Amino acid sequence: MRGGLVEEAENLFDEMPDRNVVTWNTMINGYFKNGQKEKAFGLLGSIPNPDIYTYNTMISGLVQSGDLFGARKVFDKMDSRDVVTWNSIIAGYVHKGMIDEAMQLFHEMPLGMRGRDTVSWIVMVSGLAKEGRLEEGVKLFMMMKESELSPDKATFTSILTICSELPALCLGEQVCAQSIKTALNHTIEVCNAMITMYARCGNMTSALRCFSSMPTHNVISWNSIISGFSHHGLGPQALEMFEEMRFSDVKPNELTFIAVLSACSHAGLVEKGKYYFDYMKDECFLQPTAGHYTCIVDLFGRFGLIDEAMSFIDQMRADGLEVPVSVWGAILGACRVHRNVEVGAVAAENVLAIEPNRSGTYMILAEIYASVGRLNEVERVLTQMKKNGVKKQPGCSWIEMNDGGSVFLSGDKSHLEFDRIVEPLEVLHVDVELMSVGSDQNLVQSCWHSG
DNA sequence: ATAGGGTTAG
């Protein structure tokens, strides 16, 4: 049934001498899995004795084919629902990004023995996380622990991912400890989530320890550790891991090469970057995506090879590919660092043609003009930005500490401890300036800007 | 026997 063999399943089904409700349900599920919604409804109309599995299959099939309201109709008509019924319809709302509606159903569903279970909780926790409502996800996870349900490996995976996005090392380490208690800390999905959590919280030592202690690795494990090193500017270590991966029996995928190419970019390894790009196409038969082109253009551009980056764009066009906005963005960033006014103007024009409402593009272009003293042009760009009704949002950052949080807005000095906070920042700034003395000024600046 | 969930980039 799975591999597109619907017709064969159909024939078998038609010829079966004694079909029972399980056979019917399996057939309905198969139709949905093969995108044949109408045939599924056809069977539903002729099934002699539908049971709760039949309706649950309909709900999940409709949800997965994107028809939430069709699923809701089935849900409303049912006179007895079980926990799977509820979880399926809740997952449907989550799938559509209607998280508040999902939450309402989560509160309405029955509690107790056959009611709200681990799956119900995790659907809501991961649903909140998908919408970026990470703190609410954590709160719900805490509430789940207060109930008598114990987390399983999907729960750990999901909450560790939230920790990596916040990021929240303390909570992440607590969750790791809990997973050890339940002996789920060696399952591949939980380990992969741990690697990402440690990496994104800045602890590559623990990330590597976790990776090394895993019994087996899959492509996600490798991608997680490689991109972890890459993210921290540890290009050589990232490439070392990739070379190790080539000796394993796990095949790299598109994401592996995003990590590898951006590692080359951060480490300034132009030749290696070119080599891996060709290796990906010619040896692994992977079609480069917009993301890969962006990495390679970023690699050239960061190193000041703007002409080479531009000829790469020509090559893309010659291959009949659209030049994605991210590629022009990479060129623009390179022109800022290397003060290339001519190409910078072209890149900005191309970015603005696709995304006219991003204030950052205007600001970078103005900065490029300012850096070479063309103040009339600076004025012109800022006027154009205003004319197009684009407003620059003030920069904003926040930090949470033991006794509460603090929010900072660019230009705002109203924080009670402003002076005490700014002092070490100024020391840091002086340190960076000192670093640039006696070394290549441009290089340090490029690191600073691309931070 | 048949139905519901989780992991990798920027």
Amino acid at A171: L
Report residues 93-152 of A contacting strand B, contact meaning Cβ closer than 7 Å: 117-120, 122-123, 126, 129, 152
Which pLDDT band holds residue A27 (cuts at 50, 70, 90)? very high
pLDDT reported for residue A448: 30
Would the pLDDT of A446 be above 60? no
Say which residue, A106 or A416, is predicted with more confidence. A106
A380 touches strand B (CB under 7 A): no
The C-alpha atoms of residue A418 and residue A402 are separated, in whole angstroms, by 18
The C-alpha atoms of residue A328 and residue A344 are separated, in whole angstroms, by 9
Residue with tokens 């599924």: A40
Using C1' positions and the CA of A155, the closest nucleotide is: B6
Å separating the CA of residue A358 from the C1' of nucleotide B9: 22
A16 touches strand B (CB under 7 A): no
A81 touches strand B (CB under 7 A): no
Which pLDDT band holds residue A451 (cuts at 50, 70, 90)? very low
A354 touches strand B (CB under 7 A): no
Nearest residue: Cα versus C1' of B1: A22
Query: What DSSP element (H or E) covers A408?
Result: strand A404-409
HSE-up of A248 (CA within 13 Å, CB side)?
15
pLDDT reported for residue A19: 83
Residue A253's contacts (CB-CB under 8 Å, 6 or more residues apart) are A219, A223, A286
Would the pLDDT of A47 be above 80? yes
Q: Where are the domains of chain A?
A: 356-451
Say which residue, A161 or A114, is predicted with more confidence. A161
What is the token pair recorded at A49?
């004795």
A264 touches strand B (CB under 7 A): no
The pairing of strands A396-401 and A404-409 is antiparallel
Which pLDDT band holds residue A112 (cuts at 50, 70, 90)? confident
The C-alpha atoms of residue A263 and residue A235 are separated, in whole angstroms, by 5
> Distance of CA A38 to CAs A29, A42, A61, A76, Å?
12, 6, 12, 20
CA angle centred on A305, ends A300 and A306, rounded to 5°: 95
How large is the average pLDDT for residues A28-32?
97
How large is the average pLDDT for residues A10-20?
79
A265 touches strand B (CB under 7 A): no
Which pLDDT band holds residue A7 (cuts at 50, 70, 90)? confident
Would the pLDDT of A297 be above 90? yes
Task: State the average pLDDT for chain A.
Answer: 90
A203 touches strand B (CB under 7 A): no
Query: What DSSP element (H or E) covers A399?
Result: strand A396-401
Using C1' positions and the CA of A59, the closest nucleotide is: B3
